[in-house]
């Protein structure tokens, strides 16, 4: 999938090493894929937290 927008981000050396290692191991095809996957996981985590918080407060979310 081609990116629609390009952004430059700053990473610490340990994060750069981790991302590059993931690509080198063949887990991902490029650095952008690692970052996109990480962001998707953060979104899933945040959505799950919202769902848990809603369940605790007795609010039912519409899952249309």
Quote the pLDDT of residue 5: 85
Q: pLDDT grade, residue 60 (50/70/90)? A: low
Q: Is residue 7 part of a domain?
A: no
pLDDT: which is higher, 48 or 59: 48
Q: Is residue 46 part of a domain?
A: yes
Q: Containing domain of residue 29, as a range?
A: 13-56
Closest CA to 38 of 24, 52, 18: 18
Q: Are 32 and 3 in contact (CB under 8 A)?
A: yes
Q: Are 38 and 28 in contact (CB under 8 A)?
A: no
pLDDT in tens, 11-20: 999 999 999 9
pTM score > 0.75 for this model?
no
Q: Is residue 33 part of a domain?
A: yes
CA distance 50 to 52: 6
Q: Is residue 3 part of a domain?
A: no
pLDDT in tens, 20-57: 999 999 999 999 999 999 999 999 999 998 888 888 88
Count the domains in the chain. 1
CA distance 64 to 40: 20
Quote the pLDDT of residue 2: 63
């Amino acid at each position: 999938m081609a990116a629609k927008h390009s952004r430059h981000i700053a990473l610490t050396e340990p994060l750069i090493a981790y991302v590059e290692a993931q690509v080198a191991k063949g887990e991902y095809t490029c650095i952008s894929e690692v970052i996109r996957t990480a962001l998707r996981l953060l979104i899933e985590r945040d959505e799950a937290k919202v769902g848990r918080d809603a369940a605790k407060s007795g609010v039912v979310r519409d899952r249309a």
